[in-house]
Amino acid sequence: MPRLYNFARLIDKYSVPCQHITSQPGYYDDDGIWHAPGDVTRDTKAAILPVPERTLYESGGRYMAADRLIISLEQYPMQSHIVYKGQKYRIEETADYTEYADFYQYLAKWVSAVA
């Protein structure tokens, strides 16, 4: 089924550089050597916006003005983190629009400032 809407150019225009952090569990490799769990950080781009006032109001206090709406052409796992302008956000909610368009939308909670 062809995509109905192509937002890639628009999202790319308003995307900003940021880092995406995922936590990797520990594991044993094929030689039986233990590799400790850790974070994997990679550079990416996404449109990072304030959470709309209506969403803040309807959330009943779950989301605050410090939280962010993230729109991306790539998929991020739940509970992974985005670092933008020295602030760290955790992906809390996702909306997959790829059946109709070419992007993903996330609500991300502010976690902390990054040193």
Say if CB 95 and CB 105 are below 8 A apart: yes
For residue range 13-71, list pLDDT tens digits in order.
999 999 999 988 888 999 999 988 988 999 999 999 999 998 888 888 889 999 999 99
83-104 CB burial, b ≥16 within 10 A, e <16: bbeebbbbbeeeeeeeeebebb
Residue 90's pLDDT band, with cuts at 50, 70 and 90, is very high
Residue 102's pLDDT band, with cuts at 50, 70 and 90, is confident
Residue 90: which of 111, 69, 115 has the closest Cα?
111
In this predicted structure, what is the pLDDT of residue 100? 84
